Structures are given as structure tokens and as C-alpha cells.
């Protein structure tokens, strides 16, 4: 069992919550995370600008030197009688929500990238340990075969089979080393680390717990569907704003001053006449955009629902396959190699059978590693599609295992 723990599972984590808090800190410090936050702040500033009043007061100062010197001071203001500012503020609110969902989606996608890199690194290291352990067993076998060959207990065929098995292992070892190098490079690219500070949570923690919802209704909360709905809202409010922008706003002004020795005052009124630029084209474009987004919303909803259901089904299937492997092979792999070795030494199986048994054990070990990695990546994709990745990490960070859900 200790051998299996070393080869198949990541080194036992003293505290999964420590890993989750470490991951959260590392992701928050990534340049990509800071860029996402900066983009969100920019979008928020732009939406705040839409909530500002459209028109500022105008201060007019006049001076005329003729038969009598005239000095005037006036104040003018264009009035937003059509309510363009209110419509702009409503549009800004919708765009602010849109910017927040986009930022949440970008952060979740970054988290998937980081966690997938950690899972791939962990699996590559487990494969490398397994292949190296296989090479060591074959090297020990070859040394023993040579010794027994000299003593006359075994023939040359056994030695040749051992040589060939060890030679074949070199290709597997080269592939495992290359894979480990590639995953290390990827980890450095996404997390700026050659190795994680803490091991991954155990495989049973990549499963529903706490408040995580494991059914297709999570499609309603998916990032893409919420974005599609908000885009429809934005389009509708753009139509509202474009309609009001077709209306002209009047300007009023009041003037005070002196002409010679006499006081004077005056009132100004102006109203633009929409004879040339009526805003009709902009209004029609906004209407068409709103119609197009509403028409596509039902199709997008079906597509998002299918994506969420597919991600859930894929995770459940892969988890079932991993559980089946664990029940069939997990507890047997630890003692299989020693049992084969003892049986071979007693002469109950041939060298060829022994090598075949070692290869089958190795295949089962690598299959378990691949199943675990694919389950972990399917779990991350499901959490991303259902917008629950943050909830899972927060649950682990809080140290609450919760109640396991149906998976």
C-alpha cells in the first residue's frame, strides 16, 4: 500500500485547505489576474461616465465698446428634457454587470488553466515514478537472472527476455521524462513555478461536496448564458437611448450686465432643428441589433445547456471509470510486484510469465494515473461550465468536506 501511495497518488497533503489557500494566493498574484482586474476597473470607469449629466452649464462674458460700453455676464444650460442621462445610466448599469461577468469568466478560465497544469504535472510525475520503479525492478531482475544463469539455474532465453524487457522500458522512460519536462515547462509558463509548493488534494476531493450543485440546472448560471442575457439587456437599453437621442434638447440662458449707466438683463432660448442629422439610422441599427440578440438567445440557451449537461456527463463517466479501476486494481497493485517476484523465485511461473505480469501491472498503474488525471480535468471543466470553480476552492480552503453529492 505504501508503494502504491508513492507511485499512483500525489504525496499525502497534510492539509488540503493549505493547498487551496496557496492556489488562491498564487492565482491572485498572476499578471493575468491583475490584467483582468485592471480591465474591469477600466470598464467600470467607462460605465460611470455614462451616468454623468450630459450637459454642463455655460458661462458667457461679453464686452462691447461703442458709444456706450456694454458689459454682460450670462449663464446658460441645456436641459435634458428627453431623459437621455437616465437612459445612459441604465445602459451603464447593464454594461457594468456585463463587465463583471466577463471578468469572472476570465478569472475562472485562468483558474482552469492553472489547475489543469497542476493536475498534468502531478500525473506526469506519477508516471515518471512508476516507469522508473519498473526500470529498477527489471534491472534487479536482470542482475538476478545473470547470477542464476552462471549458476546453471536459468537458460540464456531468460536472460534475453530480461534484456529485451529492460530495453523496451527505455522508450517508456524517455516518454515519461519528456512528458514531465513538458508539464514542468507549462507550469512555469502559467504559474511561474517549476514545481508546486503543495501536493494536489486526494482524488476523492475532486468531487461534489458542500453547496456544489450537480445537475443540469446550473446551465442557468453559466457564464456564457448570463453574458448572452445581459447582451440582450444592453441591446434593449441601447434602443431606448437611441430613441431618446433623436429628440433635441432646448437651451436656456440668462444674462445680466450694464449698458452705459443702465442695467440690463436678457433671456435666451435655443432649440436645435433636426433637419439633417435625425438619428434615425442609429436608432434603426440599435433596433436591428436588439432583434438579432433576442433571436439568438434561445439558440444560445440550448447550446449552453447542452454544454453544461455534456460536461457533467463526461465528469460522471470518467469518475465512474476511475472508481471502477480503484476497486479492481488500486489495492492489488501494491503487492502485485512482490507476489510475482516470490512466485518466480519459487519456480511456479516462468521468466516470460513474470515479465508479462510486470508489464500488466505497469499498464494497470499507468491506466489509473491517466483515469485520475482525466477525471480531474473533467471536474474542472464541469466547475467552469457551471460557474462553481470558486465555490469548490473556497470549500477546500475552509476545510469543509461537506456532504458528498451524487456523482
Please state whether beta strands 69-78 and 262-270 pair in parallel, antiparallel, or not at all (unpaired): unpaired
Please return the burial class of 125, using the count of CB atoms within 10 Å of its CB with bins 0-12, 13-18 and 19+: buried
Query: Distance (Å, rounded) from C-alpha 177 to C-alpha 335?
Result: 26
Query: Distance (Å, rounded) from C-alpha 58 to C-alpha 299?
Result: 50
pLDDT at 65: 83
Percent of the chain with pLDDT over 90: 35
* Mean pLDDT of the region 281-286: 82
Unique residue bearing C-alpha cell 476497486: 327
Q: Identify the top-confidence range among 31-45, 71-85, 114-128, 272-286.
A: 114-128
Give the tens place of pLDDT for each residue, 106-119: 999 999 999 999 99
How many residues does the structure list for the chain? 407
Query: Distance (Å, rounded) from C-alpha 187 to C-alpha 152?
Result: 52
Give the tens place of pLDDT for each residue, 58-116: 998 888 887 778 888 989 888 888 888 888 888 888 999 999 999 999 999 999 999 99
pLDDT at 152: 66
User: ∠ CA 394-400-403 to the nearest 5 degrees?
Assistant: 110
Query: Distance (Å, rounded) from C-alpha 325 to C-alpha 370?
Result: 11
Q: What is the 3-state secondary structure (H, E, C) of 320-349?
A: HHHHHHHHHHHCCHHHHHHHHHHHHHCCCC
Question: The whole model's pTM is what?
Answer: 0.82
pLDDT at 25: 93
pLDDT at 14: 44
Q: Are 102 and 28 in contact (CB under 8 A)?
A: no
Query: Distance (Å, rounded) from C-alpha 365 to C-alpha 359?
Result: 10
Amino acid at each position: 500500500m505504501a508503494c502504491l501511495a508513492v507511485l499512483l497518488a500525489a504525496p499525502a497533503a497534510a492539509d488540503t485547505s493549505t493547498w487551496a489557500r496557496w492556489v488562491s494566493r498564487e492565482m491572485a498574484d498572476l499578471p493575468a489576474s491583475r490584467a483582468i482586474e485592471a480591465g474591469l476597473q477600466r470598464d467600470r470607469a467607462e460605465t460611470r461616465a455614462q451616468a454623468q449629466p450630459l450637459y454642463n452649464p455655460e458661462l458667457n462674458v461679453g464686452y462691447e465698446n461703442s458709444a456706450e460700453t456694454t458689459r454682460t455676464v450670462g449663464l446658460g444650460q441645456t436641459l435634458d428634457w428627453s431623459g437621455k442621462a437616465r437612459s445612459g445610466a441604465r445602459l451603464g448599469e447593464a454594461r457594468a454587470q456585463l463587465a463583471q461577468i466577463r471578468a469572472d469568466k476570465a478569472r475562472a478560465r485562468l483558474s482552469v488553466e492553472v489547475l489543469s497544469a497542476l493536475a498534468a504535472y502531478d500525473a506526469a510525475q506519477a508516471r515518471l515514478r512508476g516507469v522508473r520503479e519498473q526500470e529498477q525492478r527489471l534491472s534487479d531482475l536482470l542482475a538476478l537472472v545473470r547470477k542464476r544463469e552462471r549458476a546453471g539455474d536459468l537458460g540464456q532465453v531468460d536472460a534475453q527476455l530480461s534484456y529485451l524487457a529492460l530495453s523496451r522500458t527505455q522508450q517508456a522512460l524517455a516518454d515519461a521524462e519528456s512528458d514531465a519536462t513538458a508539464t514542468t515547462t507549462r507550469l512555469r509558463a502559467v504559474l511561474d513555478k517549476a514545481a508546486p509548493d503543495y501536493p494536489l488534494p486526494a482524488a476523492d476531493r475532486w468531487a461534489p461536496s458542500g453547496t456544489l450543485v450537480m445537475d443540469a440546472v446550473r446551465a442557468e448560471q453559466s457564464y456564457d448564458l448570463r453574458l448572452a442575457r445581459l447582451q440582450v439587456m444592453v441591446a434593449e437599453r441601447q434602443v431606448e437611448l437611441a430613441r431618446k437621442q433623436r429628440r433635441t434638447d432646448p437651451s436656456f440662458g440668462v444674462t445680466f450686465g450694464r449698458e452705459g449707466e443702465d442695467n440690463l438683463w436678457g433671456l435666451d432660448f435655443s432649440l436645435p432643428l433636426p433637419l439633417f442629422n435625425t438619428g434615425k439610422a442609429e436608432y434603426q441599427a440599435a433596433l436591428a441589433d436588439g432583434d438579432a440578440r433576442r433571436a439568438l438567445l434561445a439558440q444560445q440557451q440550448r447550446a449552453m445547456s447542452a454544454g453544461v449537461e455534456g460536461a457533467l456527463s463526461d465528469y460522471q463517466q470518467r469518475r465512474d471509470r476511475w472508481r471502477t479501476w480503484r476497486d479492481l486494481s488500486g489495492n492489488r497493485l501494491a503487492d502485485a510486484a512482490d507476489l510475482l517476484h516470490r512466485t518466480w523465485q519459487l519456480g511456479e511461473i516462468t521468466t516470460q510469465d513474470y515479465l508479462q505480469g510486470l508489464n500488466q501491472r505497469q499498464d494497470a498503474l499507468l491506466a489509473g494515473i491517466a483515469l485520475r488525471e482525466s477525471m480531474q480535468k473533467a471536474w474542472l471543466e464541469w466547475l467552469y461550465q457551471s460557474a462553481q470553480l470558486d465555490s469548490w476552492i473556497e470549500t477546500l480552503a475552509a476545510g469543509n468536506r461537506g456532504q458528498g453529492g451524487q456523482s
